[in-house]
C-alpha cells in the first residue's frame, strides 16, 4: 500500500507549458503517473507533452472535464500562492507545490485557507512524493526507487534522493517517499506524514530525514514516542554547520539551544528512533531493526 499518491491519482499540472513544468511532467508521465490535465491561463484548448495531455485555462474547467483529484504546481513564486488557492477552490483535495522562493507571509495566508477547506498541501519548496511502481508527483527521480515496506519523509530533496538510492542499493524498497519541504511555513508536517505511515498496514518501518533549524523534528519525536510502534531510522543534516551562520533551507534557523543537530538527535533517540551518522548508514539501521533482511 502507499500514502498520498498511487495508481488512482488523477494528476493536474499547473504550469505544464513552462520549461520546468513540461520537463518534469514528461518524466512523471514516463514513470506511469496518470496526468489527466494541465492548466495554463490563456492556453486552454491546446495540448501538452506531444498532444498527450489537454490544457485548460482554469483548474475548475480541468477538474470538471477530467476528474482530476491532485495538482502539482510548477508556477513562479510570484503567482504560486494564487495557483495553490485556485487548485483548492477548483475542487482539488491534494496539492503539491514544488515552487521555491515564496514569501512566508504569503504562505501563511494560504496555509490557513487550505486548512479551513480541508485541503492537504505538500510543500512549498518540496520535491513531491513517489509511491514506487504506482505514481510519482514532483521532481524526485523515478529510477532510484523500488517497491517495498519502508516509508520515508524528509525536509531535504537531495538527501531524500541519497537515502532512497542507498536503500534501493541495499535491496530495501519503499512504500512511499515524501518530501515535505524546507520552508518555515509548509502545508504538511512530519507528524502529518508519520501518522499516515503509522496507519498504513503495508508500511513496516519509517525513515525520517531532518535538518537543523526549527523544532519540527523534536515535535515529531514526541509524537513517535506517544503513537508509533513501527521501527524507525533517521538522519539529521547540518551537524557540522558553523555556529551563527544561516545555511540551507529558509527553515534552517536555529534559535538559542533549539533547532540544533544535537537537540534533534537527543529527542529522536529518546523516542527510540535510531539516528544515523550518515545517509549511507540508514540501510544498516533498518536491517538492525529487522527490516529488509
Average pLDDT over residues 232-257: 61
Q: Looking at residue 261, what is its pLDDT?
A: 87
Read off the C-alpha cell for 210.
531532518
Q: Looking at residue 255, what is its pLDDT?
A: 47
Q: How confident is the model at residue 252 (pLDDT cuts 50, 70, 90)?
A: very low
Q: Up-side HSE of residue 100: CA atoms within 13 Å toward CB?
A: 17
Average pLDDT over residues 216-243: 87
pLDDT at 242 over 60: no
Q: Looking at residue 239, what is its pLDDT?
A: 60
pLDDT at 97 over 70: yes
Query: By CB neighbour count within 10 A (0-12 exposed, 13-18 middle, 19+ buried), where does 251 fall?
Result: buried
Average pLDDT over residues 201-218: 94
Average pLDDT over residues 5-26: 97
DSSP 143: G
Q: Which CATH class is domain 141-288?
A: alpha beta
Cis ω before 119 (30° cut-off from 0): no
Q: How confident is the model at residue 124 (pLDDT cuts 50, 70, 90)?
A: very high
Q: For Cα atoms 103, 76, 70, give the angle at the middle one, nearest 5 degrees.
A: 95
pLDDT digits 0-9 by tens, 148-199: 999 999 998 889 999 999 999 999 999 999 999 989 999 999 999 999 999 9
Query: Positive or negative, the Cα torsion across 278, 280, 285, 291?
Result: positive
SS3 content of the chain, % helix, strand, coil (to 5): 35, 20, 45
Give yes or no for a contact between 274 and 285, defined as CB atoms under 8 angstroms apart: yes
Which residues are part of the catalytic machinery? 249
Answer yes or no: same fold for 11-122 and 141-288.
yes
Average pLDDT over residues 41-59: 97
C-alpha distances in Å from residue 35, one per residue of 27, 52, 53, 56, 80 = 11, 9, 7, 13, 20
- Which CATH superfamily, name and number, covers 11-122? NAD(P)-binding Rossmann-like Domain (3.40.50.720)
Mean residue pLDDT of the chain comes to 93
Q: How many other CB atoms are found less than 10 A from the CB of residue 226? A: 8
pLDDT at 260 over 50: yes
Q: Looking at residue 254, what is its pLDDT?
A: 47
Domain boundaries, the chain: 11-122, 141-288
Q: How confident is the model at residue 214 (pLDDT cuts 50, 70, 90)?
A: confident
Amino acid at each position: 500500500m502507499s500514502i498520498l499518491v498511487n495508481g488512482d491519482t488523477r494528476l493536474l499540472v499547473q504550469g505544464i507549458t513552462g520549461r520546468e513544468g513540461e520537463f518534469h511532467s514528461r518524466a512523471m508521465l514516463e514513470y506511469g503517473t496518470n496526468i489527466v490535465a494541465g492548466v495554463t491561463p490563456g492556453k486552454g484548448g491546446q495540448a501538452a507533452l506531444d498532444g498527450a495531455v489537454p490544457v485548460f485555462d482554469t483548474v475548475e474547467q480541468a477538474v470538471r472535464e477530467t476528474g482530476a483529484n491532485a495538482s502539482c504546481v510548477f508556477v513562479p513564486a510570484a503567482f504560486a500562492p494564487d495557483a495553490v488557492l485556485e487548485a483548492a477552490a477548483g475542487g482539488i483535495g491534494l496539492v503539491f507545490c514544488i515552487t521555491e522562493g515564496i514569501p512566508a507571509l504569503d504562505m501563511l495566508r494560504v496555509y490557513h485557507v487550505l486548512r479551513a477547506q480541508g485541503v492537504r498541501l505538500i510543500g512549498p519548496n518540496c520535491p513531491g512524493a513517489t509511491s514506487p511502481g504506482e505514481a510519482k508527483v514532483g521532481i524526485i527521480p523515478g529510477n532510484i526507487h523500488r517497491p517495498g515496506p519502508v516509508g520515508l519523509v524528509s525536509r531535504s530533496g537531495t538527501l531524500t534522493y541519497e537515502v532512497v538510492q542507498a536503500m534501493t542499493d541495499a535491496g530495501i524498497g519503499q512504500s512511499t517517499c515524501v518530501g515535505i519541504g524546507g520552508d518555515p511555513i509548509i502545508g504538511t508536517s512530519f507528524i502529518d506524514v508519520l501518522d499516515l505511515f503509522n496507519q498504513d498496514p503495508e508500511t513496516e518501518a519509517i525513515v525520517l530525514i531532518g535538518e537543523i533549524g526549527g523544532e519540527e523534528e523534536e515535535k515529531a519525536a514526541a509524537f513517535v514516542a506517544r503513537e508509533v510502534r513501527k521501527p524507525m531510522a533517521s538522519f539529521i543534516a547540518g551537524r557540522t554547520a558553523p555556529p551563527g551562520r544561516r545555511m540551507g533551507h529558509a527553515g534552517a534557523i536555529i534559535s538559542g539551544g533549539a533547532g540544533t543537530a544535537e537537540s534533534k538527535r537527543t529527542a529522536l533517540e529518546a523516542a527510540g528512533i535510531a539516528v544515523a551518522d550518515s545517509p549511507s548508514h540508514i540501510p544498516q539501521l533498518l536491517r538492525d531493526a529487522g527490516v529488509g533482511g
